[in-house]
DNA sequence: AGCATCTTTGCATTCGAATGCAAGAATGCT
DNA sequence: AGCATTCTTGCATTCGAATGCAAAGATGCT
């Protein structure tokens, strides 16, 4: 009792405490004992904005340093009901767009004191498992850049877990979403292709179930039709390099007359397409075949490709996604929000005039 | 008291409990009350191998389902002193090797019930911050495929956090490490190059501080010298595409006679090198310049590159890394272990005979 | 000095699940 | 039936930090 009250423990007792801790992780109680204060005082010293005198803070901090004390985020999470964990669901060994998103999301989360709990999700089943796990770990929110069904989302909503979709959405459903709607860039680039003499186009889509792909396709179709009843052949891929390559073969075999320009719904397929054209089919890109695409991932600008592509402002989108998560965590009842970004046209060297 | 004892709660009371929960996350107490058993019984039902009768288990599980109960991993972590979290430290927007490792590590962790807490680390400072965070979150272990100083590692060891290095290590220091030592593949491919008539080589290294790069370099140098006092010019890169490109320029400006084969210490630099050779310098690869490299990442096999490269068995390495973590978590005092893997030579089309 | 106001501090409780211990139930054996 | 053994179950405590409340201390004002 008395020893608890005294302002500083005796030197010999101090070393006793320090050595007692040895091998164990120091807790706030250990720090409190060493500093001769209460556990709550220690807790308050590590809570920004709490009411603590300078004297107390100094003493506690000194003791904390001696014991290498760090607040236990798990215990803190239990009592505060905030884990500071955010689940990130990404798919994707096949599309190198995702790693870029993942790394930037992680950094943005880190800036606001949140940690990324990573889940790789290649199917709806995976998403279901990820959701269960995320729920068990009491994540503060989920950022999904991957497969997730409406039912699964509903479950999360019922459980009051904030969800932000990253370049994924459901038609006309109210959700939090960050995505890129590059309407004017599509106009611009399609016009440009037409100015270059292109009249016959092909479109390599993503899966029909993917809304972002559908949206991009709509923009492309509208724009091509708006100028002239253009010739547009469409085939479907799965966003992967390989599927871009086989899509090209399909186009060439199906089209009555070979298209002079191909619009790929993402960079990976465009790269597959270019490589297939050059190495297998023997078409020169861009002289004989122009190719444009969407995303603007890093490697789309490698000299082998130098894609003309519509870049997503991934950095700002990640920032927005994290911003939405934070906002929903702080005010769970606020209504959903869509943050839509423009694209940016990167003029590479994958297009040319029709010869 | 009495109601706590009775084997099943009354129907009306049940719905009262169910609705009481509404909006809240169900806890083991809620389930216990609904099932008419004790909280410890619920806990045991969710612990594999615990002693519970079938009757009890059924009743508890039914109640749990009704309430959508899932054990709170945070609370569990607090009492068991096991968070089931593993920190993964990767660097790397610039080297697409890391995303592959990251995704596979995550999947392997998931298989053994562990979750990946992701940290992006581009410098030792970042590593320091990641370590602090990981420590606060009571991670069960750390897998580092990134910068980490010996001092930082020592801190972790002192704190008894298992660490496994992934393709990183310190010279002759005892640590847990998984890496790839492709000695025979280096021999094989260098011999092959020599058989193809190559005598003048260049080596594009990674940073001198990187042990894996140094090790690969050693293998290359030994092998080249062992056959003939070959001509070997060396320049340093940073594993990125761009640095591969500029390394080529440096080689061409420094070398008295142009090398006919370039050994790149990773695929990214090889791709930069190939692109630079083809697009800027105007050299045909492989006719005028052969290029080989290390890693065997997915995109190294894209048709634009088709690198002859020594692949790391990333899948098995990730499995091993997770295995080591699990072993250290279960038996913390066991001594360190190195798991070394062979490489596998992928014969692409980036090499040819000297003309 | 005396009183009011504001600040600082400690006490006691809480979050949700796990677990050692002992009591109680079920089973087997003589 | 009586006793020993094994299996189930509940009680009470624990993990480590946060926080409402009230007491104690500091400060200002008259």
Evaluate if the CB of B229 falls below 7 Å from strand D.
no
With contact defined as beta carbons under 8 Å apart, do A142 and A163 qualify?
Answer: yes
What is this structure's pTM?
0.92
Tracing tokens 């320029």 back to the chain, one arrives at B249
Question: Which nucleotide lies at the shortest CA–C1' distance from A76?
Answer: D17
Residue A64 Cα to chain centre, angstroms? 36
Selection from A108-112, A335-339, B209-213 with the highest mean pLDDT: A108-112
Nearest to B110 by CA among B327, B318, B334: B318
A187 touches strand C (CB under 7 A): no
A320/B113 Cα distance (integer angstroms):
31
What is the share, in percent, of chain A residues with pLDDT greater than 70? 92
**For chain B, percent of residues with pLDDT exceeding 70:** 92
Q: Tell me whether residues A299 and B299 touch, CB distance under 8 A.
A: yes
User: What is the overall mean pLDDT for chain A?
Assistant: 89
Q: If pLDDT is split at 50, 70 and 90, which confidence band does A50 have?
A: confident
Question: What's the CA–C1' distance between B48 and C27, in Å?
Answer: 24
pLDDT in tens, A273-312: 999 999 999 999 899 999 999 999 999 999 999 999 999 9
Q: What is the pLDDT of residue B332?
A: 84
Is residue A6 helix, strand or coil? coil
In B276-344, which ranges are continuous DSSP H helix?
A: 314-330
Which 3 state secondary structure label does DSSP give B152? helix
Contact B278 A106 (CB under 8 A): no
Q: Residue A8's pLDDT is what?
A: 44
Model pLDDT for residues A215-259, shown as the tens digit of each residue: 999 999 988 876 666 578 999 999 999 999 999 999 999 877 889
Separation of alpha carbons B245 and A339, rounded Å = 38
The pLDDT score that the predictor gives to residue B7 is 38
- Ranges of chain B with pLDDT below 70: 1-23, 226-230
Angstrom distance, B39 CA to C25 C1': 19
**Separation of first and last alpha carbons in chain B:** 93
pLDDT at A344: 96
Q: Which of A100-109, A254-263, A299-308, A311-320 has the lowest mean pLDDT?
A: A254-263
pLDDT of A49 over the 90 cut = no
Biggest CA-to-CA distance, chain A: 95
Of B102, B241, B298, the CB nearest to A302: B241
Q: Summarize the confidence of residues A199-211 as an average pLDDT.
A: 92
pLDDT of residue B13: 55
Is the CB of A52 within 7 Å of strand C?
Answer: yes
Closest in B74, B107, B271 to A77, CB measured: B74
Cβ distance B74 to A137 less than 8 Å, yes or no, reads: yes
Query: How far, in whole angstroms, is CA B318 from its chain's centroid?
Result: 6
Q: Which helix (H) or strand (E) holds B267?
A: helix B267-275
For B172, residues 6+ apart whose C-beta sits below 8 A from its C-beta are none
Q: Are A117 and B120 a contacting pair at CB < 8 A?
A: no
Among B118, B135, B306, pick the best mutation site for testing chain A contact (most A Cβ within 10 A). B118
What pLDDT is attached to residue B19? 53
Strands A308-311 and A344-346: antiparallel
Partner B contacted by A79 (CB < 8 A): no
> A8-29: per-residue pLDDT in tens?
445 555 555 565 556 788 999 9
Q: Which residues, listed in sequence order, are joined to residue B176 by a DSSP beta bridge? A: B164
A44 CB inside 7 Å of strand D: yes
Q: Does A123 touch chain B (CB under 8 A)?
A: no
């Amino acid at each position: 009792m008395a020893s608890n009250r005294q302002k500083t423990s005796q030197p010999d007792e101090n070393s006793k405490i320090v050595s007692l801790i040895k091998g164990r992780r120091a807790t706030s109680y250990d720090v409190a004992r060493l500093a001769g204060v209460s556990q709550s005082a220690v807790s308050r010293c590590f809570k920004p904005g709490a009411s603590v005198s300078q004297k107390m803070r100094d003493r506690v901090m000194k003791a904390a340093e001696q014991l290498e004390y760090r607040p236990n985020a798990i215990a803190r999470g239990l009592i505060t009901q905030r884990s500071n964990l955010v689940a990130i669901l990404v798919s994707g060994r096949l599309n190198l767009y995702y790693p870029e998103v993942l790394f930037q999301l992680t950094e943005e989360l880190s800036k606001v004191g949140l940690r990324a709990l990573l889940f790789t999700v290649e199917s709806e089943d995976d998403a279901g498992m990820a959701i269960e796990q995320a729920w068990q770990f009491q994540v503060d929110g989920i950022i999904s850049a991957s497969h997730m069904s409406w039912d699964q989302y509903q479950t999360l909503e019922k459980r009051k877990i904030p969800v932000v979709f990253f370049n994924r959405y459901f038609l006309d459903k109210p959700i939090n979403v960050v995505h890129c709607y590059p309407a004017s860039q599509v106009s611009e680039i399609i016009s440009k292709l037409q100015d270059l003499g292109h009249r016959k186009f092909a479109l390599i889509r993503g899966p029909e179930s993917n809304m972002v792909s559908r949206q991009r396709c709509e923009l492309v179709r509208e724009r091509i039709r708006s100028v002239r009843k253009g010739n547009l052949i469409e085939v479907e891929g799965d966003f992967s390099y390989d599927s871009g390559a086989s899509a090209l073969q399909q186009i060439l075999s199906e089209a009555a007359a070979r298209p002079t320009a191909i619009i790929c719904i993402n960079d990976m397929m465009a790269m597959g397409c270019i490589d297939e054209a050059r190495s297998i089919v023997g078409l020169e890109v861009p002289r004989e075949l122009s190719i444009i695409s969407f995303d603007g991932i890093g490697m789309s600008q490698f000299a082998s490709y130098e894609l003309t592509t519509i870049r997503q402002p991934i950095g700002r989108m990640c920032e927005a996604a994290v911003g939405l998560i934070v906002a929903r965590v702080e005010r769970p009842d606020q209504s959903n929000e869509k943050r839509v970004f423009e694209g940016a046209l990167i003029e590479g060297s994958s297009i040319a005039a029709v010869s």
